[in-house]
Amino acid sequence: MIVNNMTFFTLAKYKEILRISLPLVLSMGATTLMEFTDRIFLGRYSLDALAASMPAGITSFLFTSFFIGTAGYVNVFIAQYTGANDRKGVGASLWQGIYFSIFGAIAMALIALTAVRLFAFIDHVPEVQKLEVTYFRILCYGTGASILGTTLSCFYSGRGLTRNVMLVHIIGTLFNIPLDYAVINGVWGFPELGIQGAALATVMSWVLIASIFMGLIFNKKYNKRYGVWDIRQFNPALFKRLMKFGIPGGVQFFLDILAFTFFILIVGRLGKQELAVTNLVMSINALSYMPMFGFSMGVSTLVGQAMGGGKPNLAVIAANSTAHIALSYVFGLVLLFVFFPIPLIKMFLPADMPPAELKFIIDRGIILLRFVAAYLFFDSINIIYMGVLKGAGDSRFIMWSMGIASVLFLFIPVWVGITNFGMGLYFSWTCITIYLFMLCLIIFTRFYKGKWKTIRIIKQKSEI
C-alpha cells in the first residue's frame, strides 16, 4: 500500500510539473520559433545578414540578460509569497519588478549608443560589422518592452498559472513571423528592410506582449485580490531584498550569455564561413536551450512555492521529477541532431548558395551538431538544477560557480588556443563541451548536498 501511494504521489507530481512547465516550454518554444524563423529568413535573404544577426543579437541579449535575469527573479518572490498564502506580497513584488524594468529600459537605450565602437572592437569584416550595428541598436532601444514583459509574466508564472504566459507569447510569435518575413523581403506592400526589418519586427512583438500582459493584470479583480494597483508604491525594503537575490540571478544569466557571446565572437575571428556555420548550429541548439528554460522556470515556481510553504522535501521531488521529463525531451533532440542533421542545416541556407560554400557549411555543421548532441545532457542538467537553486534563493552560489567555471574552462582555453596557438573550430567546440560538463558537476553537487534547503527569502505579511 505504501508503494502504491508513493507511485500515485510521483505520478501526481509529474502531472503537476507538466501542468506548470509545459506551457512555459511552449512559451519558450514560441520565442525560439520566432528567433529560428528570423534566422531562416535572414539566411535566405543574405549570408552576411545571417552572419551578422547572431553576434549582434546575442551581444544585445548579453546586456539585456542581466536585466531579464534580475527582473525574472520576481517569479521566485511571487512563488514563495503564493506558497506562504500572502497575496499582498505578490502585488508588492510585481511592482518592485516594474520599477526595475524602467531602470533597465533606460540603461539599454544608453548601451545602444556604444554600437559603432563596440563592433569596431569586435572587428568582424566591414560588411558584416555595418549590419551588426544596425541590428544591435534597434534591439537595444526596444529591449525595455522585453524586460517589462518578463516582469509582468511573473505575475502568472509565479502563481503556477502558466497557460496565460504561453498564450500571450504565442500571440506575439504569430504576430512576429509574418511581419518578419514581410519587412525583411519587402512583400505584401511592406518596404524591403533586410536585417533592419528583422530587428523592428522583433521589437514590435515585444511591445505587443507587454501590452497584452498589462491589459490582463491591471483590473479590479486582481487589484482586490493582490493589490496590483493599490500597492504600487515603491517599497525600499522589498526592493532591496529583490535586488539582494535578483542581482546575483541577473549576473548569473549575464555570465551564461557572456560565455556563448565570447565563444561566438572569438570564432568569428576564424573567418566568415566559420562564424556563419557556428551561428547556424547555435540557432538549431536553441531548439533545446530555450525550452529548457521553460522547465527551469517551472521548477523554480514549484520549488519557490514549496519553500514558501516550509516544505523543502516537496522541492526535492519537484526537482528530480522535472529532470526526468526534461532529459526525455533532450534524448529525442539528440537523435534528431545525430541522424538528421542535413535537413536542419539546409533550412538556414539560400537555394542559390555556391556549391563549394554549401559543402563547407554542411560538412562542418554535421560535426558541430554532434558536439551539441554530446553536451546537451550536461547543459540540460545545468539549466534544470539551476532553476531549483534559484527557486530556493541560492542565486549567489550559481553566480560564483558560473563565473569561475567560465573563466577556467572556456574563456582562457579558447582565447589562448585561438590567438596564441592557432587552434581551429573544433578545438573551440571541445572547450565549450568541457565547460558545460564541469558546470554540470558543480551545480548537481550543490543540489545533492542540500544547503539550499535552509535559505529563506521572504518576510512575514506584516512587513509588506
- Tens place of pLDDT per residue across the chain (464 aa): 444 444 545 677 788 888 888 888 788 777 767 777 787 888 788 877 877 887 888 888 889 989 999 999 999 999 999 999 999 999 999 999 999 999 999 999 999 999 988 888 877 777 888 888 999 999 999 999 999 999 999 999 999 999 999 999 999 999 999 999 999 998 998 888 888 899 999 999 999 999 999 999 999 999 999 999 999 999 999 999 999 999 999 999 898 888 877 887 788 778 878 888 888 888 788 777 777 888 898 999 999 999 998 899 999 999 999 999 889 989 999 999 999 999 988 887 877 788 888 888 999 999 999 999 999 999 999 999 999 999 999 999 999 999 999 999 999 999 999 988 889 899 999 999 999 999 999 999 999 999 999 998 887 554 55
Task: List the grid coordinates of 26.
Answer: 511552449
In a domain, 2, yes or no: no
C-alpha grid cell, residue 286: 536553441
Three-point CA angle 31, 32, 37, nearest 5°? 105
Q: Could you identify the residue written with the cell 509574418? A: 178
Q: How far is the CA of 92 from the CAs of 86, 224, 255, 296, 419, in angstroms?
A: 10, 13, 29, 24, 50
CB-CB neighbours of 371 under 10 Å: 19
Write out the three cell numbers for 273. 564561413
The total number of structural domains in the chain stands at 1
Q: How far apart are CA 242 and CA 75, in angstroms?
A: 11
Per DSSP, the three-state class of 257 is helix
Q: Is the dihedral of CA 202, 204, 206, 209 positive or negative?
A: negative
- Give a yes or no: residue 4 inside a domain: no
Pick from 316, 317, 326: nearest CA to 382 = 326
Amino acid at 320: N
Percentages (nearest 5) of helix, strand, coil residues in the chain: 85, 0, 15
Q: What is the distance between the alpha carbons of residues 62 and 65, in angstroms, rounded to a whole number?
A: 5
Is residue 51 situated within a structural domain?
yes
**Residue that the C-alpha cell 516550454 belongs to:** 25
Q: What is the pLDDT of residue 461?
A: 55
CA 450 to chain centre: 26
Q: Which domain holds residue 16?
A: 10-463
In a domain, 3, yes or no: no
Q: What is the dihedral of CA 391, 375, 418, 116, to 10 degrees?
A: -50
**Helix and strand totals (H; E) in the chain:** 17, 0
Neighbours of 204 (CB within 10 A): 18
Burial (CB count within 10 angstroms: exposed 0-12, middle 13-18, buried 19+), residue 342? exposed
The CB-side HSE value for 330 (13 A sphere, CA atoms) comes to 25
C-alpha cell of 72?
525574472
| Cα dihedral 256/258/264/266 (nearest 10) | -130
Residue in the structure block whose three cell numbers are 504561453: 166
Radius of gyration of the chain (CA): 22
Residue 4's contacts (CB-CB under 8 Å, 6 or more residues apart) are none
pLDDT value of residue 278:
87
- On whether residue 225 sits in a domain, the answer given is yes
Is 449 domain-assigned? yes
Tell me how crowded residue 315 is: count the other CB atoms within 10 A of its CB. 21
5 assigned to some structural domain: no
Q: Of 280, 248, 255, 290, which Cα lies nearest the Cα of 389?
A: 248
